[in-house]
Every structure is written in structure tokens, then in C-alpha cells.
Structure 1
Amino acid sequence: MANFSLKITHHRCTVNNTLISKETFSILKELAQNNNKEWFEKNKPIFKQHEAHVKSFFASLQERMNLHDDIEKMKMFRIYRDVRFSKDKTPYKTHFAGSFSRLGSRLRGGYYLQLKPGGSFAATGFWGPEKEDLFRIRKELEMDATDFRKVINEKSFKQIWGDLIGEEVKSAPKGFDKEHPNIDLIKKKQFIFVRHFSDSEVHSKDFIGEVDKSFKAIRPYFDLMSDILTTNLNGESLLD
């Protein structure tokens, strides 16, 4: 263990805040193999350098996203795990992650990016719609899912984001017909899209642009969902 942790002191962070270096993934790999307070405290200074660099990367990504969307804030998640109610008592996460919130009540949906050796991905959509929002989405899909299906099945959209995923009820939500032709959509509790990235893709100079392009491609979906969630079934605005 001692020799293993010594080599980490030789890692250096790249000054280019649009790149994720192999060294950043190396320290995450070492953390995964030494997930304890003693190792972390010994290597905390160099870890914090990499953490700060990733935060700068997220900030650079936010700047790009603001050219095609209105991002209210970027949040980078803490490395410390909440282990109070978990069987897994390892104290640290083994990835970096950040979220990007859209501005105002008219713009719905959110963005997420995780950086992890062998497990990097971008995600977007609606993770946990509030009860009222979920009901509104379901009623829209019950009435007519034509526009929804057109957006999520568009060829260039699917090439980037693939299929809609998310948790769903087993049969049908209360008050909805389990035989409805759109029940495959109505029974969903989450409306999420995920794109996975290999380590080589993450370390490439084009990675930040590829993530930004992916997030930009989700806009037709966000525009449709924002319209649904800010109007009633008659298409009348719910906003002041």
C-alpha cells in the first residue's frame, strides 16, 4: 500500500481546462483500490489538484452550453459519500460528477456528467419529476404521444442518445388504462437519456465538444417537455 500511494505524488494535472487527463483517471483508480481515510488524507493535496481541474473543465463546458441554452448554475458533487444508510461503508466516491441546471421556470430538464474509469457517461432528462409534473406528462401522453415519439425517434437524436430509459411502474399508474396504446410511455416514472463514453473518448481533445454537442442535441426533447409542463391540456400557459 505504501509504495502504491507514493507513485501518486508524481501525477500532474494538465493546465488545459478543456481536457481530462489520464492522470486524473489514475488517481481515481488508486482511490478505488485504497478507499480509506488514511490513504485519502496522505494523498489529498494531489487529489484536490485534480478535483479543481475537473471543476474547471465543468465550468468550461458550462460556457459552451450557454451558447445554446441558459444554464443557471453548475454543481460539482462532493467526493465524500453519505454512508449513514448504506451497507457500503467506503467513505469516498470513485468518480467526479457535475450537474447543470437550466434557468427559470420555463426551461425544464437537467444535465449530468460523470467521469469514472470504465464508467463515464452523460445523462439528461427528468430523473425525479414532482408528482404534479409526472401526472401532467402522463396525461399528455395519454391524449397524444405523436410529437413525443417523433422527437425521441428522430434518427440523428437516436444516434447520439439511443432509447428513452428510466424506472417505471409494472402495469399502469392509478387512473390509467393498462391497455392504452401509449402505456409504454405512460407507465414511466423517469424520462432519461444516457450516453456512455470510453476512457479513450474522455481523454481525447474532442471530448468537451462531443459532450456539448450531445447536450445541444437534446434541445428538441427539452423544448417539447418544457411546453408540456408549462401549459394545461388545452395548451394554455400556466405561467404568469
Structure 2
Amino acid sequence: MLETNITKGTFQFLNTLKKNNNREWFTEHKSAFKVEETKVKSFFSHVHDLLKTHDEIEKMKVFRIYRDVRFSKNKTPYKSNFSASFSRAGKHRRGGYYLQIESGNSFVAAGFWNPEKDDLLRIRKEWQVDTTELVEIINDTKFKKVWGQIVGDELKTAPKGFDKEDPNIEFIRMKQFIFVKKFTDDEVLSNNFANEVNDSFQTIRPYFDLMSSILTTTMNGESLLD
């Protein structure tokens, strides 16, 4: 039976790990980690099942607790969170879902983290022509209440080949196209958290549908799919 809630024990373990972020402590408490990891993985699987009621999901990926410190100034070996991503199925479905559980820093995110070069150019060319449908979607009252403003890395000026005075430059200079919704610890621990996560993901769908349509067609509206 899948876990349908996040428990206080998960936060307690992560907070203790954060204070004792070293290999010696982690080795001594590996069994406690395994207990919490199993519970959270089960919860992620529950969210995965909820997602599949309204979207086609290809796979769920649970990220490892171990940090890659090779290119980081922060050399602590472990993350202080559990996280997972959910990939949509098929070439005609674009966008991805992300869920992170961490005391004081739990959130869901959805969108396009690092579009490939060709995809990024295609998106920018679309915004150069028209952002009407995009603006309507992200300014919808229900959508905005859940997701707020679009965020992501962006250029300081116009990308090569685009006019810095373009009326849609605020979107054209973006390199990522992400929405984030944060949750308090009390919200994460509530019995309704999984449904709140799923409802948030379901609300992003009009944005995913628009971006999928853009990324699977040419500027002339011709399909790029075989």
C-alpha cells in the first residue's frame, strides 16, 4: 500500500542530517535513512498515480540523496531534501514536473528547465511574433493563484538576432520557462498534500499544451513529428 502522506519523521531526519552532514554520521544512521527514503518513495509513487489520472507519464525519477560535489564550492556530501521528477510521455507532450520535500523549502515546479538550443530558438521566434495566448494563460486568475509569475534564468539583453526593443523582449530573453509553488511544512504534513500537489500540476496543463504545440510545429504550423 502506498504512503499518502509525508510524516514528521521525514522532516526530523532531514533536519538532523543537515546538522550532521558528514559521511561518518550518515553511515551510522543509514538504516534510519532507508526507512524515510522508502516512505517518501512510496509517497512519490502515490503522486505519480494521481498524475496519471489526467496526464500521460513516461517515468518517475527519484533523485539520490548524495550530492555531486565535483564542481561545487559546497562540499557537504548529502542533500537535505528528497525529490522526484515526472516525465511526460510521447514526443508530442512537452514539459516536466518536479517535487521537493525539505523542511522550510518544499515546493513543486513545472515547465522547461533547460530547453535544447533548437527548442529555445523556436520558443523565442514564437514570442517574437505573438505572446497573446501565453499571456492569457499565465494571467488567468486560477493559474496565477496557484503558480504566480513565470521564472527562470534570462539574458540581460536581447539574444543574437532579436531586437532589444521588441515589445515581447521580457519573454524572448528568457532561457528557462518555469513555474514554482512553495509549501509550508504544515501544508506538506497535511492529509491533503498529495492532492494539492496533483491539483497544482493539473492547473499547469494549458501552459504545457501551448508549449507542446509550439515545440512540435514549424512557424508555418507544420508538424515536426513523423
TM-score by length of 1: 0.93
Greater RCO (CA < 8 Å, at least 6 residues apart): 2
Q: Given residue 221 of structure 2, which amino acid in structure 1 is its aligned partner? A: G
Once the two structures are overlaid, the 10-residue window that deviates more, 16-25 or 199-208, is 16-25
Q: Given residue 225 of structure 1, which amino acid in structure 2 is its aligned partner? A: M
Indicate the residue corresponding to 1:61 in structure 2.
47
For structure 1, which runs of at least 5 residues remain unmatched after alignment? 1-14
2 CA distance for matches of 1:137 and 1:204?
A: 38
* 1:13-34 deviations in Å (ceiling 9; x for gaps): xx86010001110000000000
Larger Rg: 1
Which of 75, 87, 90 in structure 2 is aligned with 1:101?
87
Quote the RMSD (CA, aligned, Å). 0.8
1 CA distance for matches of 2:2 and 2:72?
A: 37
TM-score by length of 2: 0.99
* 1:114-165 deviations in Å (ceiling 9; x for gaps): 1000000000000000000000000000011111111111110000000000
2 CA distance for matches of 1:170 and 1:227?
A: 28
Deviation at 1:181, TM superposition (A): 0.5
2 CA distance for matches of 1:16 and 1:57?
A: 6
Name the % identity. 59
| Runs of 4 or more above 3 Å deviation | none
Indicate the residue corresponding to 2:162 in structure 1.
176
* 1:14-58 deviations in Å (ceiling 9; x for gaps): x86010001110000000000011110111101111001101111
1 CA distance for matches of 2:79 and 2:164?
A: 40
Indicate the residue corresponding to 1:202 in structure 2.
188
1 CA distance for matches of 2:150 and 2:98?
A: 16
2 CA distance for matches of 1:104 and 1:69?
A: 11
- Asked whether 1:232 is paired with 2:218, we answer yes
How many residues get paired? 226
Deviation at 1:236, TM superposition (A): 1.1
- Asked whether 1:141 is paired with 2:127, we answer yes
1:68-107 alignment, distance < 5 Å: 68-107=54-93
Query: Retained in 1: the 8 A contact 2:4–2:194?
Result: yes
- Aligned residue for 2:157, secondary structure, equals coil
Which of 156, 160, 164 in structure 1 is aligned with 2:150?
164
1 CA distance for matches of 2:8 and 2:145?
A: 27
Query: Retained in 1: the 8 A contact 2:2–2:46?
Result: no
Query: Retained in 1: the 8 A contact 2:2–2:45?
Result: no
